[in-house]
Amino acid sequence: MKKYNLKDKKTISLIFCISILFLFTFNVTSSRYMGELKGEADDVVAIPVLSLDNPTFNYTLENMLPGDVDESDFYVNNYNEENTNEVLMKYYLTLKVDTEIPVKVTLTSDDGTEITLNEGKTDEYELPYDQGEVRKKFHIKVDWDKADNSYEYAGKNIKLTVDLEATQVVEG
């Protein structure tokens, strides 16, 4: 059995203390930098805000009859109750119609121009951030032609969903 003298014990204790001090310092320092990397709640630079302003655009049309037309407006806003958008955004809408009934669904912009859908999606729109509160109006129309009056459609519903997909535009 090997015996250590007092000088060796001091050296081992010193190395142990330095190791503990190093580990403690490293953990505190790295946690501080990791906190800065991840950000804190007070570090918000810009707030992206974009909302679809009408809860009816995930809805079901019931008891519609041949020859009926259903029309409604909805809005895309760059603000909500608390905030206004602070970044440049691009968005598009996705329209999904789930029904066996042969209806014609049209989407128009606020100036009355019919919007062409490509696989249910609109073109991209830009939503500026430096113009205050911006509201873009859309109009949706569901038209069931009176000539399409087969008994097969009796009791069927029309389910519509409008989804808003947005991304922040990175400038420069």
| pLDDT tens profile 83-124 | 888 888 888 999 999 999 999 999 999 888 999 999 999 999
The two structure tokens encoding residue 106: 């049209």
Looking at the DSSP bridge assignments, the partners of residue 77 are: 51, 135
CB atoms within 10 A of CB 65: 10
Give the C-alpha separation, 129 to 40, whole Å: 23
pTM score: 0.65
Query: How does pLDDT run across 16-38, given as a tens digit for each residue?
Result: 778 777 666 666 555 443 333 33
Amino acid at 124: E
The residue-averaged pLDDT of 37-54 equals 51
Amino acid at 65: L
Domain 51-168 class in CATH: mainly beta
Q: Report H helices in the chain.
A: 6-38
Domain residue ranges in the chain: 6-42, 51-168
- Kindly state the DSSP code that residue 8 receives in the 8-state scheme: H
Q: pLDDT band at 143, cuts 50/70/90? A: very high
